Amino acid sequence: MGRHAPRRRGIAAAVSSFAVAVAAVSVAVLPESGASADPAAPAAGTTEITLTDPASTQPRSDQPLVAGPSGFLHRQSGIPGFLWTDYSDGTTVTVRTADGVYTPAAGGSCATLGSSLCPTAWYGTDADLVALPSAGSVTLWDPATRTTSEFTSDQPYRGLAGRTVVTEKALYDRVDGAWRSRAVTPAGTRVTSGMITAADAHGVLFRVATDLYYLDLDTAVATKAFSGSGSRPVTVLGDDRFGWYEPGSGDLHLKPRTDPGADEQVIDLPSPGTVLDGAPVLVGDRLLLPRHTGTGTSELTAVSLRDGTTQTLLAKAGKYAVRAAGGSALVTGGTEAGDWWVRRATRAADGTVALEKLTQVPAVENAKTGLALSRGGLRIAEDDPKSTMDTTSLRTLATNGGTQLSASAPQAGDRIAPVCPYAGADCSVLWGNTGEEPRDVHLTTFYDGGDGGTGLGDADRLVAMNDGSSDSTLEFRTEGGTIVDVSDDYAVYDSGGASPAQYVGEFGQGQKLKRSVRAAALNGSTLWSAAGTGRLSSYSLTENRALATVTVPGLGCVPSELQAAGRWVYWACGDGTAGVYDTRADTSRAVAGGDVLLGDGFTVRHDHTAGTLVLTDAATGAVRALTGEVADTGLAKDRRFKWTVDEYTGLVAWTDPYERTHLATTGIAPSAVTSFETQTDSYVQPGSTPYWTQVLLSRPVTSWSLTFTSVQSGPAGKATRTFTGGATRAQVSVSWNGKAADGTPFPNGAYTWSLRATGIGTGGPATAASGTGFLGRGSAVRHDFGSPDGPDGRGDLLTLNSSGGLTFQFGTGTGKFGSKISGSGWATSVRAIPFGDLSGDRCNDVLVRLSSGALRLYKPGCGRAVTPKTSYTTLASSGWTQYDLLTSPGDVTGDGRPDLVTRTASTGTVHLHKGTSTGKLAARVKLYDNWKGYKKVIGAGDLNGDGIGDLLAQDKANTLYRYDGRGNGTFAARVKLFTAWGGSYDAVVGVGDITDDGKADLVSRDTSGNLYRNSGDGKGSFGARTKIATGWGGYKSLS
C-alpha cells in the first residue's frame, strides 16, 4: 500500500492550492480494545477541513420539531432519522435506540419530512426529552445521556408536552421514578388522533370538530376556548396567550392562558397577501409568518400585534418553525444553499424580532462513491444522477502532517464505472496511486472477444487513470476477481472462478508474477506475502528476488490480510485478531481488526457501531476517535468507498452523512529538517536542459515544498513555482524547466529558491536550504530590451537623439545605465513608447507614432536595436496625432498583455487601449474626462506588487500622485505621493527595475540634463532621488 515515487519518473509539480480555514482541537486517548472508542475531538496538533460541493441551489430542508431548554430536535432532507443539536456548542448527534438510528415507520403519517399528517407534539415539545413512538409503545430518548426508556399505556398515545405524555383520556408524568396517571377532565373529554394543534410544557391546544380546547397540564382540566374555528385551524401558543389565526383576513383570535374561558380578543392584522407555507409562531407581540413566494423558499415576516407593521426577517426562509422557550422560536433561512441556518428568533429590546444563528444546514451534495488519497493527491468519485458513470474530481493537498492542511480547487477528472467489490452497494472504490500525476486505480470489466480473446463477457481490467488521456491497464485474461493492493504502478490482483490465482503486475509493463492466492501487500516495489503460520516474506519486484522471510511476534496464524506502509506491516487473522509489525524493531503490537487501513505509523479502523473512525498509534498503542460521524453504508467494510488513508502524509479522508468530504491530519511523527549538502544548477533556460537541484536532508521528512520565485515581474506579475512532496528518507531532487505551473516561462533575470521541509519530531516546516540563480530566454520583463548577453531582467531606457537615433540604454542592475545599442534613420518627430511583449515572441516591443499620425508596433527581438526596417505591424494609418500623451503602465486588465494609455490634447480625455491576443490594440475606452491639469502622466509599471500596472501623474503644482491599476482596465482613486516634486524635470520615465531588487524604479531628467533615479519601495512609493548621470540634455526624448 505504500506510495513511493515510481522509479521511472521524476517528481511532479504540485497544483496551486487555495487557503482553507483550519482548527486545532484535542482528543481523548483510550486503551486499545475491540470496543468502540468514545466520541472525542481530534488530538492537539492536528487539523480537520471540510470540502463542500453543493449539487443544488435549493437549500436542504430542515424541520425543527422539538425545542428544549438546551437543544432542539430536527429533521433534514436526505438524512435518515432525527438529529439533536446542542445550543451551546452546536454539537449534533443522530437519535439512536437499541435498534440503531430511529426512523419513522415507512408509510406512516410522519414518514415524510414536513408531512401535514404528522401530529403536532408527536415527538415532543418544550423539553430536553424526545418521544419516539412505535407500534404499541413509546420510547423516550434523553439527549443528555443518549439513553432511552419505555412508556406503555392502555390509552392511545397522542403526544409529549414538556415531560408529560398525553394520551386519549389521561396525562402521565414521572413522579419519584414512577409514572403517575391523571384523567383528563371533565369526564368524557377525549384527545383524538391528530387533533393536537399546539403544545408546550404547560398546556395543550386540541381540536374537537370545529372547536378548540385548551388542556391545562397542571390541573388536567380541558376548557372549550373557541367555537367555530374550523376543521383545520391555524393555531398559535404564546407564553401568556393562545388562539388561532385566519390567514385570509388576517384576524388573530386570542385568549389568556390563565383564563381560557374568557372572552376572546380579535386583533385585525393585515392579510399576508398570499398563502402561508407553514404555521405562524408568536414571538413577543409579533406574529411570525412564512409567506409563500413560489421560488422554493418562503419569506419570513413578523407582524406587530400592536400596530400591524411588518418586519421582513428573512427574504429566503424555510417553511418550518417551532415555538421555543422564553417566547422565542426556531426558524430556518439564509441567502443561498451554502448559507442556510437554523436560527433562534427572539424579542429584541425595541420590540422587534432579532435572529441568532444556531447551526448551519449543509447544502445538498451528490452521493460520494469512492475516495483515493495518495501523496497528498485526493480524488473524489461521486454519483451523477444523469449518467450511469460517476464523475471524479482532483485536489492537491498540502500538509505538514499536523496543524497545516489545505486543498486546491477541484479539477475535473475522468468519468468511471468501476466494479463495486461490496455486494449490494453502488460504489466506485479507488486505490490511490499518485506518482508524477494522480493515476488512481479501479477495477472494471470488458468483453474480451475478437482474435486471440478469451471470449469472456465480463473480463477484468485494472485501470490506472490518466485523466484526459489514454489510461494504462492491466489484463490477466480472467474474470470475477478483486484488487488486493496497489502501489507505485504495481498491483496485486486475485482472479475469481473455479481456479483462482494471484497476479502481480506493473502498469505499462504487464504481468510480473502468477501464483496461488495468499495474503499480500505492496510497499512500492516490495511485495509482502504470507509465508506460513506466523511468517511473512518480502520480495523485490525490481530485482526479481526474495529479500527476507521473518517470523512475526504475536502472529499465530497464516494471515488472511496484509497491508504495508513504510516500515510497518499490518496483519489480520481469520479469527479477528490483528496486529502491526515493525520491520525495523522486529516487534509486533496487537490492534483491533476489521475495517482497517494502515498508515505510516498508525492504523485507522471504521467503528461501524459508533459510526466513527478510530486511530491507533502503531508505536504506542494509544487509541483515539479521529472523526465525527462517517456516512453509514450498512456494510461490514466500506474503506476506499466512504473513507481512506494516505499513509505517507498522515492524512485521512472520509464522507459524512451529508456527503461532504472531510480531511484530517493524524499528528503522527512530524519532524524538522536541515540540509547536509546541496547540488544545484545556477542557470536555467526554458525549453532547454532543465534546471536540477538535489538536497541531502538531515533526516526523513513527512513533506516538503521547494519554491522558485522570480525577482522580476513578467506579463503576469511575479512568478512562483512550487514543487511539493511527501515522505522521503533523505533526499529531495527536483528537475525544473524554468516555467510556472501553467507553462508560462519565468521572467528573465534572477530568481530565488527555498526548500521547506517538515521532519519527523517537529511541529512544522522549516527552511532547509535556499539559493539564487539566473534564468535566460524566459518571459519579457518590463522595459528589458536586452544587454550584451541578451535580456537580463533589468529595465532599459529608450532615448531619441537629434540625429534620429533610437538607443536602448541598458540598465546595469546597480541603478545606472551602461552599454547601449542604437538604431538610426528615424525622423526626430517620432514618438517611441517602450511596450511589453504584445507580439508573443517573449521579447518586448516598441510602439512608434509617426508624424503622419500612424501607429506601428515594432518587434526588434531581444537585445537588438529598433530601426525603421525592423519588422512591424501597423496598428493605425492615421489619427494618432490627436494624442499628446502615449504611455504604457504595463498590464492593467489582468490578462497578462501590455496596455496603452493616451490623452487627447484638445480635451484632456484619457483613454485605455487594451492589448489583445492578436498583437494589436482594442478600441479605446474612456477612463477620465479631462486630465489637462496634469503636466505629466507616466506609465510606471507595477508599483505596489499586485501584478497590475499603475500610473503616476504630476500636476501643474508639482504634486505627484499614484493611480493603482485595479486589474479590470480601470484605476483606483489617486493617492498623493509627494508635493513640490519634479518641477525642473522635463522627462520622467517608469523604467522598470534597474536596481535588481524586483521593484519598479523611476528615472527623471531635469532641464540641465542631469539624470536621477528614485528607487521604488514596492509599496507604491519611492525613495529619495539619486543623481546617476549628467549630460543627457541632448536627447530629444526619454521613454
pLDDT in tens, 196-207: 999 999 999 999
Asked whether the bond before 186 is cis by omega within 30 degrees of 0, the reply is yes
CA–centroid distance for 742 within its chain? 20
Whose cell is 516598441? That residue is: 846
Query: Does residue 582 surpass a pLDDT of 50?
Result: yes
CA–centroid distance for 467 within its chain? 21
The DSSP symbol for 907 reads: T
Whose cell is 482541537? That residue is: 25
Cβ atoms within 10 A of the Cβ of 309, count?
11
Q: HSE of 60 in the Cβ direction (CA atoms, 13 Å)?
A: 24
Nearest Cα residue to 79 out of 367, 491, 457: 367
The grid cell for 809 is 540604454
The DSSP symbol for 144 reads: T
Q: Tell me the longest C-alpha to C-alpha distance in the chain.
A: 120
Give the pLDDT confidence score for residue 702 in this predicted structure: 80
Give the pLDDT confidence score for residue 417 in this predicted structure: 96
What percentage of the chain exceeds 90 in pLDDT?
A: 78
Q: Lowest-confidence range among 112-116, 506-510, 547-551?
A: 112-116
Range(s) for CATH 2.115.10.10 in the chain? 797-1038
Give the pLDDT confidence score for residue 825 in this predicted structure: 96
Whose cell is 388561532? That residue is: 244
Residue pair 392/322 in contact (Cβ under 8 Å)? The answer is no
What percentage of the chain exceeds 70 in pLDDT?
A: 93
Query: Does residue 16 surpass a pLDDT of 50?
Result: no
Domain 368-665 belongs in CATH node 2.130.10: yes
Question: pLDDT-based confidence at 134, cuts 50/70/90?
Answer: confident
Taking only the tens place, the pLDDT of each residue in 671-702 is 346 675 677 888 888 877 777 888 866 555 78
Give the pLDDT confidence score for residue 269 in this predicted structure: 96
Taking only the tens place, the pLDDT of each residue in 88-100 is 999 999 999 988 8
Residue pair 440/431 in contact (Cβ under 8 Å)? The answer is yes
- In whole angstroms, give the CA distance from residue 745 to residue 684: 11
Kindly report the length of the chain. 1039
Give the pLDDT confidence score for residue 370 in this predicted structure: 98
If you average pLDDT over every residue of the chain, what do you get? 90
Nearest Cα residue to 875 out of 892, 850, 840, 843: 850
Whose cell is 425543527? That residue is: 64
Query: Does residue 37 surpass a pLDDT of 80?
Result: no
Question: pLDDT-based confidence at 20, cuts 50/70/90?
Answer: very low
For range 422-444, the mean pLDDT = 88
For range 873-892, the mean pLDDT = 97
For range 404-411, the mean pLDDT = 92
Give the pLDDT confidence score for residue 730 in this predicted structure: 65
The grid cell for 113 is 419530512
Indicate the pairing of strand 196-199 with strand 1011-1016.
Answer: unpaired
Query: Does residue 334 surpass a pLDDT of 50?
Result: yes
Q: Which residues contact 688 (CB under 8 A, 6 or more apart)?
A: 777
Give the pLDDT confidence score for residue 10 in this predicted structure: 26
Query: Does residue 888 surpass a pLDDT of 60?
Result: yes
Query: Does residue 354 surpass a pLDDT of 90?
Result: yes
Q: Lowest-confidence range among 186-200, 394-408, 816-830?
A: 394-408
Taking only the tens place, the pLDDT of each residue in 934-971 is 999 999 999 999 999 999 999 999 999 999 999 999 99
Range(s) for CATH 2.60.40 in the chain? 675-760
Query: Does residue 435 surpass a pLDDT of 80?
Result: no
- In whole angstroms, give the CA distance from residue 1016 to residue 993: 8
Taking only the tens place, the pLDDT of each residue in 239-271 is 999 999 999 999 999 999 999 999 999 999 999
Question: pLDDT-based confidence at 6, cuts 50/70/90?
Answer: very low
For range 857-865, the mean pLDDT = 95
Burial 426-448 (b: 16+ CB within 10 A, else e): ebbbbbbbbbebbbbbbbbbeeb
Give the pLDDT confidence score for residue 72 in this predicted structure: 98
Range(s) for CATH 2.130.10 in the chain? 368-665
Q: Lowest-confidence range among 56-60, 138-142, 240-244, 356-360?
A: 56-60
Give the pLDDT confidence score for residue 303 in this predicted structure: 97
> Hey, what's the torsion of the CAs at 634, 640, 643, 649, to 10 degrees?
160
Residues 581-586: contacts with CB under 8 Å, at least 24 apart: 581/536, 581/550, 581/552, 581/553, 581/555, 582/618, 582/619, 583/550, 586/550, 586/553
Residue pair 260/214 in contact (Cβ under 8 Å)? The answer is yes
User: Which has more pLDDT, 830 or 375?
Assistant: 830
Query: Does residue 275 surpass a pLDDT of 80?
Result: yes
Q: What are residue 454's phi and psi, to 5 degrees? A: -85, -15
Q: Which residues contact 188 (CB under 8 A, 6 or more apart)?
A: none
Give the pLDDT confidence score for residue 898 in this predicted structure: 96
Query: Does residue 39 surpass a pLDDT of 70?
Result: no
Distances, alpha carbon 784 to alpha carbons 205, 519, 796, in Å:
84, 64, 5
Cβ atoms within 10 A of the Cβ of 687, count?
11
Question: pLDDT-based confidence at 564, cuts 50/70/90?
Answer: very high
Q: Would you give the end-to-end CA distance of the chain in angstroms?
A: 62
Give the pLDDT confidence score for residue 647 in this predicted structure: 80
Region for residue 642 given its phi and psi (left: phi exceeds 0; alpha: psi -120 to 50; beta: otherwise): alpha
Indicate the pairing of strand 766-775 with strand 683-684.
Answer: parallel
Query: Does residue 654 surpass a pLDDT of 60?
Result: yes
Query: Does residue 352 surpass a pLDDT of 90?
Result: yes
Query: Hey, what CATH topology would domain 797-1038 get?
Result: Tachylectin-2; Chain A (2.115.10)
Taking only the tens place, the pLDDT of each residue in 908-943 is 999 999 999 999 999 999 999 999 999 999 999 999
Question: pLDDT-based confidence at 727, cuts 50/70/90?
Answer: confident
Give the pLDDT confidence score for residue 45 in this predicted structure: 77
Beta strands in 667-730 (DSSP E): 675-680, 683-684, 691-697, 701-714, 717-725
Beta strands in 364-501 (DSSP E): 368-374, 377-382, 391-399, 405-407, 411-412, 441-446, 459-464, 472-474, 482-487, 490-494
Question: pLDDT-based confidence at 791, cuts 50/70/90?
Answer: very high
Give the pLDDT confidence score for residue 629 in this predicted structure: 84
- In whole angstroms, give the CA distance from residue 586 to residue 445: 41
CATH number for region 675-760: 2.60.40
Q: What are residue 699's phi and psi, to 5 degrees? A: -160, 165
